Amino acid sequence: MRGVPAPVWIVLATAAFGALALFHLPAFYESFIYLCFFWVVLATSWNILSGYSGYFSFGHAAFFGAGAYTTATLANDFDLPFLWTLPAAAAVAALLGVGIGAVVFRMPRLRGELFALLTLAVTFVLATIVSNTRLDGGPGVYLSGVAIPRIAASPSTTFYLMGLIGAAATLWIAQAVHASKLGLGLFAIHDDEDVAEVMGVPTFGYKIAAFALSCGLAGMAGGVQAVFISYLTTGETFSIILPLNVVLMSVLGGTRHWLGPAAGAVVVTILLYAFTAGGHPVAGRAIVGLVLIAVILLMPSGLLGRFAPRAGGRARRRAVARAAIEPIPAEVEGAPLLAVHGLAKSFSGLKALDGVELEVRRGEILGLVGPNGSGKSTLVNVVSGHYARDAGRILCEGRDIGGLGAHRIAHAGIARTYQIPRPFAHLTVLQNVALPARFGRLAMDRHRAESEAMHWLAFTGLDSKADALPQDLNLHQRKFLELARALASRPRLLLLDEVLSGLSPTEIDHAIETVRNIRDAGATIVFIEHVMRAVMELTDRIVVLDQGKVIAEGKPDEVMRREHVVTAYLGRPHA
């Protein structure tokens, strides 16, 4: 059963429901199933952005409403046939989403709850504009004059089939995104957006793409629903109830599974209907509220949470062959691999980097040392694009990469590790390592990325943990996971930020051996470390930073004997 791919299931289910239309069910049943389809489309479309990437939108009513009023305006005022208005409804809603996304996704560190409120506010702004202009004008819009296309014998069958096609298309899109590179990127954004960007995921573009898809599908559903209910008011269309229902359905079903929101939608629609038909609509709403509370407290990953397939596609473990290390060709001549000139970065007055000058030559291990707070980690953060520089130039093979987004710096072949490991918590160890291979400089396909990942897991001794989640690793293993992730993108320049801190002496020996092997494979390394034994053993050259400035540079044993370097580390003697 688990071997059957999801699209096949979708086609089979669509065929079965399509065949049902031939039996001429009573109009009532067809309309009820249409409503289920309608909520499946809304909840599933919401989940493509909000469930996968974690940006919960409370503005789904805005996009639904944009679609509904587009259809109403085009069909009533411009006499466009109903079906022709639907692509326009989807396009208007998608454009609205792209416009909002282009503004809000540019904000640094936009937190989830702020995005939720922003999208909610957009809903009310749109509602006010629609109700005060000719689009609605206040009293509402009738669509009873719109001709319903004769797809089937009766209008109810027509809507049934339209709902079926909409739901099938939406589910197909949702599962395709889930299994694609886009889906993997969105799940990485969900876990740690900064790290995803540094690993090469174009986070801004991915969020916009997911938002556009999500809004477009909601807009299309709005267009169909507008004619189905045949009377629109801004109060009902842009109500807060719609996004809340959609969130409830998705959370209930499970946001990490492409089918979760659909399952939640069907359960909630049936539940609400059962109580309404029984004459207790108010009790039905109360039950739905209680169900939401119970799910959040007791089952946070939803009904289908435990069955969620792995993001970014099925792993083909058996086919994974261990590729030999391809040495990175050592180019002796030409510009230095990395050159930093006059680099400055301040944090509200504190100069973390104050005119740093340094060069990294091909094939070397450059030690970057200095007391705590000297600017070492800030330098890594600025070079990798995590922070924007204030001034100065960062040249990678002569090309200024200082103004590029972090994912484009990753594409240029610069990888880094984090001092405190930051794995993607919901992705397996293998996926964590395969991600930079897929999104990095070489943009490998899934199959190659996974064999590449297996190679580096074996290299760091983590191959037995490939299917574990990062939470099952100890600190030593997480440090090596950081290393494997950085290596899997086949970087030309590797920035190692205190990979040894917190390790025991034997673990340090193992790590030093590993770093040496990496260099022998042809990588250039910037090695930031406090463990002096490792610095002395490994590095070809060191640069000493103090208070954001380079104070010394040269051979390790010679530099560390210089008086001003000793002073920077230990302070001035008081004798």
Partner 1 sequence: MPSAALLGQSLLSGIFVGALYGLLGLGLSLSWGMLRQINLAHFALAFLGAYLTYQLGLAGLDPFLSLLLIAPAFFLVGIALHWIFDRFKVSPFNSLLLTFGLTVVVESVIQGIWTADFRRLDSPYTALKFHIGNLYFPFAGLLTLLMAVALSVAVWALLRYTDLGKAMRAAAEDAPIAAAFGIDTVALGRMLSGLCAAFAGVAGVAIALTYTLAPSQIYSWIGVVFAAVMIGGLGKPLGPLLAGIAIGISEALTMAVTAPAWAPLVSFSLLIVVLLTRTRRV
Residue among 286, 321, 350, 532 that touches partner 1 (CB under 8 A) = 286
- Rounded to a whole number of angstroms, the distance between the first and last alpha carbons of the chain is 80
Contact 378, 340 (CB under 8 A): no
If one asks whether residue 121 binds partner 1 (CB under 8 A), the answer comes out as yes
Q: Which of 79, 81, 84, 113 binds partner 1 (CB under 8 A)?
A: 113
Nearest residue (CB) to partner 1, 295 versus 473: 295
DSSP SS3 for 491: coil
> Which residues, numbered 91-110, are part of the site for partner 1 (CB under 8 A)?
103-104, 107-110
Based on CB atoms, which residue is closest to partner 1, 304 or 435?
Answer: 304
Q: How far is the CB of 122 from partner 1 (least distance, A)?
A: 7
Q: Which is nearer to partner 1, 14 or 239 (CB)?
A: 239
Among positions 36, 61, 127, 227, the unique one binding partner 1 when judged by CB under 8 A = 127
Considering only 43, 94, 118, 369, the residue that binds partner 1 (CB under 8 A) is: 118
Could you say which residues in the range 235-254 bind partner 1, by CB under 8 A?
239-241, 244, 247-248, 251
- Regarding 274 and contact with partner 1 (CB under 8 A), the answer is no
Does 13 sit near partner 1 (CB under 8 A)? Answer: no
The neighbour count for residue 133, using CB atoms within 10 Å, is 10
117 is an interface residue for partner 1 by CB under 8 A: yes
Question: Which C-beta is closer to partner 1: that of 80 or that of 104?
Answer: 104
CB of 14 to partner 1, least distance (A): 31
Residues near 513 by Cβ (< 8 Å), separated by ≥ 6? none
Shortest distance in whole angstroms from residue 559 CB to partner 1: 39
In terms of CB distance, is 180 or 301 closer to partner 1?
301
Residue 114 sits in the site that holds partner 1 (CB under 8 A): yes
Candidates 159, 151, 150, 144; CA nearest to 30 is 159
Q: Are 116 and 58 in contact (CB under 8 A)?
A: yes
Count, residues near partner 1 per rule CB under 8 A: 45
CB of 136 to partner 1, least distance (A): 11
Residue 282 binding partner 1, by CB under 8 A: yes
Instruction: For strands 541-546 and 365-369, give the pairing.
Output: parallel
DSSP 307: G
**Binding residue for partner 1 (CB under 8 A) from 94, 120, 184, 534?**
120
From 31-39, 194-202, 286-294, 407-415, span contacting partner 1 (CB under 8 A): 286-294
Cα-trace Rg, the chain: 28
Q: What does the block give as tokens for 231? A: 């009377």
Task: Out of 138, 327, 342, 403, point to the residue binding partner 1 (CB under 8 A).
Answer: 138
Contacts for 200-207 with beta carbons within 8 Å, 24 or more apart?
Answer: 200/407, 200/410, 200/411, 200/436, 200/439, 200/440, 200/441, 200/489, 201/407, 201/435, 201/439, 202/405, 202/407, 203/407, 204/105, 204/106, 204/405, 206/53, 206/182, 207/49, 207/53, 207/55, 207/101, 207/105
Phi, psi of 284 (to 5 degrees): -60, -45
Of positions 128, 464, 504, 567, contacts partner 1 by CB under 8 A: 128
- 401 touching partner 1, by CB under 8 A: no
Taking CB under 8 A as the binding criterion, the range among 179-187, 282-290, 421-429, 517-525 that sits at the site for partner 1 is 282-290
Q: Which residue has the tokens 């990395």?
A: 338
Q: Is 299 in the site for partner 1 (CB under 8 A)?
A: no
Q: Which stretch binds partner 1 (CB under 8 A): 125-133, 304-312, 387-395, 402-410?
A: 125-133
Amino acid letter for position 161: L
Least spacing, CB of residue 237 vs partner 1, in Å? 14
Among 283, 321, 420, 532, contact with partner 1 (rule: CB under 8 A): 283
277 binds partner 1 (CB under 8 A): no
Q: With beta carbons less than 8 A apart as the criterion, state whether 323 and 521 touch.
A: no
- Nearer to partner 1 among residue 121 and residue 147 (C-beta): 121
- Nearest 5°: the CA angle 86, 87, 90 is 85
Instruction: Please give the biggest Cα pair distance in the chain.
Output: 101
Question: Is 116 a residue that touches partner 1 (CB under 8 A)?
Answer: yes
Residue 285 interacts with partner 1 (CB under 8 A)?
A: yes
Residue closer to partner 1 (CB basis): 111 or 533: 111
Residues 27-66 interacting with partner 1 (rule: CB under 8 A):
56
Q: Interface with partner 1 by CB under 8 A: which range of 264-272, 292-300, 380-388, 514-522? A: 292-300
Q: Measured from the CB of residue 215, what is the shortest distance to partner 1 in angstroms?
A: 17
- Select 278 or 300, whichever has its Cβ closest to partner 1: 300
SS3 letters across 109-166: CCCHHHHHHHHHHHHHHHHHHHHHCCCCCCCCEECCCCCCCCCCCCHHHHHHHHHHHH
- Total Cβ atoms within 10 A of residue 474: 7
Q: How far apart are CA 188 and CA 201, in angstroms?
A: 8
Separation between Cα atoms, residue 410 and residue 200, nearest integer Å: 5
Cite the DSSP H helix spans in 254-280: 260-277
Q: Which residues bind partner 1 (CB under 8 A)?
A: 56, 103-104, 107-114, 116-118, 120-122, 124-125, 127-129, 131-132, 138, 239-241, 244, 247-248, 251, 282-283, 285-286, 288-293, 296-297, 300
